[in-house]
Amino acid sequence: MGTQSDATDARPRRVTAKDIATSLGVSRATVGFVLNNTAGQTISEATRRRVIAEANRLGYRPHAAARALARGRTNTVLLILPDWPIDFSVRNNIEEASNALDDAGYALLIATPHDSGRARPLWETVELDAVIGYLPFAPRTVEAMRAAGVTRIIPDPNTSAPPYREPGTTLQVEHLASLGHRSLAYADTADPRLATLGHERWEAAQRASEAMGCSIRRLPIDLYDESANAAALAWRSEGVTGVLAYNDDVAAALAGAALRSGISVPEELSVIGHDDAPIANLFEPRLSTIRLDTAGFGRQLASLAIARIEGSTSEPSQLDTPIVQLIERSSTAPLAGPTAL
Average of per-residue pLDDT values in the chain: 86
Asked whether residue 259 carries a pLDDT value surpassing 90, the answer given is yes
- Residue 155 belongs to what domain range? 76-162+297-310
Asked whether residue 152 carries a pLDDT value surpassing 50, the answer given is yes
> Is 323 domain-assigned?
no
* Mean pLDDT (whole number) for 160-170: 75
Single pTM value for the model = 0.73
Asked whether residue 133 carries a pLDDT value surpassing 80, the answer given is yes
Model confidence over 192-201: pLDDT tens digits?
Answer: 989 988 999 9
* Cβ atoms within 10 Å of 47's Cβ, excluding its own: 15
Domain count, the chain: 3
25 or 241: which carries more pLDDT confidence?
A: 241
Report the distance separating Cα 183 and Cα 268, nearest Å: 12
> Is 104 domain-assigned?
yes
Q: φ and ψ at 29, to 5 degrees?
A: -65, -40
Closest CA to 93 of 293, 290, 231: 293
> Is 189 domain-assigned?
yes
Q: How confident is the model at residue 87 (pLDDT cuts 50, 70, 90)?
A: confident
The pLDDT, as a whole number, for residue 322 is 65
> Is 329 domain-assigned?
no
> Count of alpha carbons within 13 Å of 107, Cβ hemisphere only?
9
- 156 and 260 share a domain? no
| CA angle centred on 78, ends 77 and 79, rounded to 5° | 120
> Is 43 domain-assigned?
yes
The pLDDT, as a whole number, for residue 320 is 60
- 210 and 247 share a domain? yes
Asked whether residue 310 carries a pLDDT value surpassing 50, the answer given is yes
10 or 135: which carries more pLDDT confidence?
A: 135
The three state secondary structure string of 173-193 is HHHHHHCCCCEEEEEEECCHH
- Chain Cα centroid distance, residue 239: 38
DSSP 127: -
- 156 and 102 share a domain? yes
Q: φ and ψ at 326, to 5 degrees?
A: -75, 125
The pLDDT, as a whole number, for residue 212 is 96
Model confidence over 44-61: pLDDT tens digits?
Answer: 888 888 988 988 888 877
The pLDDT, as a whole number, for residue 16 is 81
Indicate the pairing of strand 242-245 with strand 215-221: unpaired
- 80 and 188 share a domain? no
* First-last CA distance in the chain: 85
- 81 and 47 share a domain? no
- 156 and 302 share a domain? yes
CATH number at residue 19: 1.10.260.40
217 or 70: which carries more pLDDT confidence?
A: 217
DSSP 45: H
* Mean pLDDT (whole number) for 205-221: 97
The pLDDT, as a whole number, for residue 131 is 94
Asked whether residue 244 carries a pLDDT value surpassing 60, the answer given is yes
* Mean pLDDT (whole number) for 228-245: 97
CATH number at residue 286: 3.40.50.2300
Asked whether residue 3 carries a pLDDT value surpassing 70, the answer given is no
Q: How confident is the model at residue 6 (pLDDT cuts 50, 70, 90)?
A: very low
Closest CA to 195 of 90, 114, 82: 82
The pLDDT, as a whole number, for residue 165 is 67
> Is 248 domain-assigned?
yes
The pLDDT, as a whole number, for residue 88 is 85
Evaluated on CA atoms 199, 171, 254, 283, the torsion sign reads: negative
306-311: Cβ within 8 A, 24+ apart: 306/101, 306/104, 306/106, 308/130, 308/152, 308/154, 309/73, 309/77, 309/106, 309/129, 309/130, 309/152
Residues 6+ apart with CB under 8 A from 133: 79, 80, 153, 154, 155
Residues 6+ apart with CB under 8 A from 132: 77, 78, 79, 80, 97, 154, 301, 304, 305
Percent of the chain with pLDDT over 70: 85
Asked whether residue 40 carries a pLDDT value surpassing 90, the answer given is no
Cis status, amide bond into 157, omega within 30 of 0: no
- 105 and 145 share a domain? yes
> Is 319 domain-assigned?
no
- 210 and 279 share a domain? yes
Asked whether residue 118 carries a pLDDT value surpassing 90, the answer given is no
| CA angle centred on 142, ends 141 and 145, rounded to 5° | 85
- 195 and 268 share a domain? yes
| CA angle centred on 315, ends 313 and 317, rounded to 5° | 90
- 281 and 303 share a domain? no
- 121 and 223 share a domain? no
> Is 110 domain-assigned?
yes
- 239 and 177 share a domain? yes
Cis status, amide bond into 167, omega within 30 of 0: no
